[in-house]
Structure 1
Amino acid sequence: MNWHPAVKSAVDLACALVLLSALAGCKEQRLSVGAPAPRLAAFYLDGRPASLDQWRGKPVYLTFWSSGCGGCAADMQTLQKLTDTYGDRLVVVAVNTDPEQTDIAPFLAGLQIHYPVIRDQLGITKERYQVIGTPTSYLLSAGGAVVEAHQGMQGEPALAAMFQNAQRDKS
């Protein structure tokens, strides 16, 4: 269709405003300790959407990470060891915040990560969880409420204690 430049510009502007308002509506849900955890707007590496509902009934440790973050790598290795020890009694979910074009496969292969890894391609989940740097992590109760929030590397002693405490508290 060959539109007059002024009409095409108005249509482009209208489309952009519709898209922005739709995305803004997706970002409304915000983090609050003690409240239900915000929904995920992220996808598995194979493109399937991820949802916290699939882990309902188990505590979830949601950790936001990036491939250039040394503290993330150290904590992720510790989280894998703890996952191997505790099984699926507490689910670790790693949310990658790198741009979509970043190939994270070598990073994950090097760490031998076997717990769920999802990508936050649009940054909506990162915004909902108020992530300003990586690593940032949240412990969610088995009922889906935010229990704890942590910024920065946690280290093995703190993560091991968190896993042990989460086993006792099944709320």
Structure 2
Amino acid sequence: MVLRYKAFPVLQFLAVILIFVFLLSGCNTANPQVESESESKIKIAPLQGFLAPDFELEDLTGKKIRLSSLRGRIVVLNFWSMGCRYCLMEMPDFDEFNRSKSKDVTVLMVNLDKDTGRLPIYIKNQGFSFTVLKDEMAETARTYMIRGIPTTFIVDKDGIIASRIEGALSKNQLDSLITQVTRKF
């Protein structure tokens, strides 16, 4: 019985040491998580202020359009789908903007539908004047890290992303965004 009481302080000491080691080891895991979060933020692309990733897509007539060939022009790049209600709601505003824009602005509407068979008929029936590009495999959308649609990018004359906007836009918002970009030049 005497041995039991002598071992008790030793067990208490070991328990305190184990708790201390456990707490310290927990502190060590926070650093790698913070680093990996900041690393992932660095890898997110495209970013405002960086060169827009180049791509080449076909329009509804089969003509290939490369983004880099539009340097010297401001490009409004919108990702959308026929199944997206908000995308369809903003399209008349994009068309109105396209008809009233200055000569040095190009509107590219990148459609993400896998089946684009009815797309030309829809665009023609609506009387839209903007250029529609087909990204049936969503490769360009993946490059631009599209998380939801509609998503719009404003690319300046040097090919630099000036803005990324997730959600529907009105003509007035488009006008304001383009005004901000043209002030830069």
Q: Given the two structures, how large is their TM-score scaled by the length of structure 1?
A: 0.74
**Based on CA coordinates, which of the two structures has the bigger radius of gyration?**
2
- For residue 33 of structure 1, report the CA deviation from its aligned partner: 2.0
- The answer to whether structure 1 residue 49 and structure 2 residue 64 are counterparts is yes
Q: Which runs of 5+ in 1 are unaligned?
A: 1-28
The whole-number CA distance in structure 2 between the counterparts of 1:97 and 1:76 is: 15
- For residue 115 of structure 1, report the CA deviation from its aligned partner: 1.8
- The answer to whether structure 1 residue 37 and structure 2 residue 52 are counterparts is yes
Count of residue pairs the alignment pairs up: 142
- The answer to whether structure 1 residue 129 and structure 2 residue 141 are counterparts is no
The whole-number CA distance in structure 2 between the counterparts of 1:155 and 1:46 is: 27
Give the root-mean-square deviation of aligned CA atoms: 2.0
| Identity across matched positions, percent | 23
What is the identity, as a one-letter code, of the residue corresponding to 2:156? S
- The one of 147, 150, 153 equivalent to 2:165 is 150
The whole-number CA distance in structure 2 between the counterparts of 1:45 and 1:77 is: 18
Aligned position for 1:76: 91
- For residue 101 of structure 1, report the CA deviation from its aligned partner: 4.8
Q: Which runs of 5+ in 2 are unaligned?
A: 1-43
The whole-number CA distance in structure 1 between the counterparts of 2:175 and 2:163 is: 15
Aligned position for 1:96: 111
Change beyond 3 A, Cα 1:52–1:101? closer
Do 2:110 and 2:134's aligned partners in 1 also have CA atoms closer than 8 Å? Answer: yes
Do 1:64 and 1:94's aligned partners in 2 also have CA atoms closer than 8 Å? Answer: yes
Change beyond 3 A, Cα 1:87–1:157? closer
Larger RCO: Structure 1 or Structure 2 (Cα < 8 Å, ≥ 6 residues apart)? Answer: 1
The whole-number CA distance in structure 2 between the counterparts of 1:109 and 1:46 is: 12
